[in-house]
Amino acid sequence: MAYSGLNASKQGKYNGVVSDDIGKEKQLGVLQLAAAKVVDAIESAAVWVIFGGKVPQSYYVSGNYGPVEEFGPAHSVPVDGAFPECLNGEFVRVGPNPKYKPVGNYHWFDGDGMIHGLRIKDGKVSYVCRYVRTAKLAQEDYWGASKFIKIGDLIGKQGILWPNLFKLRKKLGIVDDTNGTGTANTAMVYHNGRLLALNEGDKPYAVRLLEEGDLETIGRVDYEKKLNHSFTAHPKIDPDTGEMFTFGATREGPPYVTYRVVSKDGEMGEPVPLTVSGPIMMHDMALTENYSLFLDCPLYFNPKDMVKKNQCIFSFDDTKPARLGVLPRYAKNESQIQWFTVSTCVIFHNANAWEEGDEVVLITCRIPSIDLVALAVYDEVKAKKFANDLWEYRLNLKTGEAKEKKLGEFRSDFPRINEEYVGRKNRYVYNCIFDDATHISAIAKYDLTREPELGKEKLELGGNVVGIVWHGKGRYGSEAVFVPKNPGREGDEDDGYLICFVHDEKTGKSEVVVIDAKTMSSEFVAVALLPTRVPYGFHAMPCYRGKALKGSEEQIKKQRL
């Protein structure tokens, strides 16, 4: 575990961030420094009282959830097998990695964003891990300690205290949230020559891939000051037009969601406010050739229930239905959106969407209910209730009817496809299979042209499950992403490779494995034996996108500041 404040600087300014807007110098006076110590003492006393004299130790900072220090770049990483030429470039995965020891409760969503990067060139592999230098992290580097509010603080009655302590710190000039409080720990996207690290509570951070295999934070992106709200962790890029479709969700007041289109050249269009049922957690969207899809699920920012029912600040209301909204891609306002009421559920991650006649088809992973406290205070029963299943929705734009069909079981999430098919009808979905809320034990390949065989006691081949790769006993993976052998949609859709990080809890070793996505053979194409442990994390991507660029090596060369 690494809480030492590695690379922390105390030079009287917020260091470690390249961009001008978050690298401000901030000289603190004697009174401010004294006030900071007083607030820290109040916080420590509150922790002592609230937790009965015991400092809480979160499950999600132990074992392979525990943070690691920055590392590398390490060159000549040992490889078993051979990395295919189409993987030349950079494979990255981001996740939470708290640099400073959390005060009070810690939620898995809270950690500082750390990117783990694998540089692949002509069969040779380098590895690096670097923090995303956010405004939050820059300020905590100055103090050498955790200072910002987090989701783990917002559970139960104690959730009243920490927001007020944070307000006090702001008023005293101890912290500054002018440039956001995000962690950039959730996902990444490559668009218009920029690799962006994303967290839906803030704006994107641009990260540069250096030729020698290192990673460098460039700064916070506001699209020439046109972006004045948060930015989803899961924007969608049309593989043909190069446009990016995105949104931001807020809890400040209606209409709560703002939709945006970004041109292939990085020009952000005008905002389109969308009215939803309340201050929801909207994590993902979907795209077809003519429409954008939005998810209005009853997972609400709810301070009242946090206090009254001892819940997380985001709580699920099972008395309300979910809604799916279909909006023309280039709508100027929300008047053209068509909402479909569906069974109550929460949807975090979509696989794909497309149009068939009068219908819009959405392939997604949904969960019937959720308790986010389970990702802060570990509860095995609650963790195993994170039962995402693969579903199909057919939304008839003419009749207004919504049909729902279950396609898969066994706690499956983080669906990925051949992204040349984003917004177009596709055949295959690659889904992570979870033992509980966070441990990925296998990757399953689903054929959407086949009928599912439901009600089985265990995951096995048959029906629409046409391939399974198990990571092995005591071995758990991360999101597996698909890289096609050739760009475009002319060859077989599944002609390519899956690549993902895997950790062995018995040996403490981590690796990157390459799987033949067509055969789903358990004989790996290649394995990179990493020089350091890689904690469990969130989303991954290869720096490869669409027909315009013939591979991630070319994208690295075409990066821009």
Kindly state the average pLDDT of the residues 251-279. 96
Lowest mean pLDDT among 89-103, 155-169, 534-548: 534-548
Asked if the model's pLDDT at residue 18 lies above 50, the reply is no
Asked if the model's pLDDT at residue 280 lies above 60, the reply is yes
CB 296 within 8 A of CB 280: yes
CB 345 within 8 A of CB 365: no
Q: What is the pLDDT of residue 9?
A: 36
Whole-number Å distance between alpha carbons of 424 and 28: 55
Asked if the model's pLDDT at residue 22 lies above 60, the reply is no
Whole-number Å distance between alpha carbons of 205 and 195: 8
Q: In what order do the strands lie in the sheet with 322-328?
A: 286-287, 291-296, 322-328, 338-342
Asked if the model's pLDDT at residue 126 lies above 60, the reply is yes
State both tokens at 557.
Answer: 């060369």
Q: What is the pLDDT of residue 27?
A: 63
Lowest mean pLDDT among 23-27, 56-60, 222-226: 23-27
Asked if the model's pLDDT at residue 548 lies above 50, the reply is no
State both tokens at 376.
Answer: 């802060």
Lowest mean pLDDT among 369-378, 494-503, 551-560: 551-560
Question: Do the strands 113-121 and 124-131 form a parallel or antiparallel pair, or are they unpaired?
Answer: antiparallel
Kindly state the average pLDDT of the residues 120-138. 96
> Which whole-number Å values give the CA distances from 235 to 111, 197, 238, in the listed order?
21, 12, 10
Lowest mean pLDDT among 52-66, 309-323, 401-415, 510-524: 52-66
Whole-number Å distance between alpha carbons of 462 and 348: 26
Element of type H or E holding 115: strand 113-121
End-to-end CA gap in the chain = 34
Lowest mean pLDDT among 71-75, 140-144, 229-233, 376-380: 376-380
pLDDT tier for residue 26 given thresholds of 50, 70 and 90: low
Asked if the model's pLDDT at residue 489 lies above 70, the reply is yes
Q: For residue 255, is the peptide bond before it cis, meaning its omega torsion is within 30 degrees of 0?
A: yes
Q: What is the pLDDT of residue 19?
A: 44
User: C-alpha angle 152/157/161, rounded to 5°?
Assistant: 70
pLDDT digit string (tens) for 63-119? 999 999 999 899 999 999 999 999 999 999 999 999 999 998 899 999 999 999 999
Q: Which residue has the tokens 């708290």?
A: 98
Q: What is the pLDDT of residue 558?
A: 66
Lowest mean pLDDT among 197-206, 371-380, 399-408, 443-452: 371-380
What SS3 class is residue 307? Answer: helix
| Ramachandran assignment for 457, one of left (phi > 0), alpha (psi -120 to 50 degrees), beta (any other) | alpha
Element of type H or E holding 296: strand 291-296
Q: What is the pLDDT of residue 409?
A: 87
503 is in an annotated binding site: no
Whole-number Å distance between alpha carbons of 443 and 303: 37
Lowest mean pLDDT among 37-41, 209-213, 404-408, 428-432: 209-213
State both tokens at 469.
Answer: 């790769």
Kindly state the average pLDDT of the residues 350-369. 98
3-class secondary structure for 319-388? CCCEEEEEEECCCCCHHHCEEEEECCCEEEEEEEEEEECCEEEEEEEEECCCCHHHHCCCCHHHHHCCCC
Average pLDDT, the chain: 91
User: In terms of Cα–Cα distance, which of 388, 385, 390 is closest to 373?
Assistant: 385
Q: What is the pTM of this model?
A: 0.93
119 contacts: CB under 8 Å, gap ≥ 6:
73, 89, 90, 125, 126, 127, 128, 209, 213
pLDDT digit string (tens) for 383-401? 767 789 999 999 999 999 9
User: C-alpha angle 549/555/559, rounded to 5°?
Assistant: 130
User: In terms of Cα–Cα distance, which of 277, 236, 235, 270 is closest to 256?
Assistant: 277
Whole-number Å distance between alpha carbons of 327 and 338: 7
Asked if the model's pLDDT at residue 440 lies above 60, the reply is yes
Q: Which residue has the tokens 């069909």?
A: 405
Kindly state the average pLDDT of the residues 259-276. 98
CB 244 within 8 A of CB 225: no
Question: Which phi and psi (to 5°) does residue 420 adopt?
Answer: -65, -15
Q: What is the pLDDT of residue 16?
A: 29
What SS3 class is residue 381? Answer: helix
Lowest mean pLDDT among 277-286, 513-522, 540-549: 540-549
Q: What is the pLDDT of residue 25?
A: 44
Helices (H) and strands (E) in the chain, counts: 6, 33
pLDDT tier for residue 185 given thresholds of 50, 70 and 90: very high
User: In terms of Cα–Cα distance, which of 430, 510, 443, 500 is closest to 474?
Assistant: 510
539 is in an annotated binding site: yes
pLDDT tier for residue 54 given thresholds of 50, 70 and 90: confident
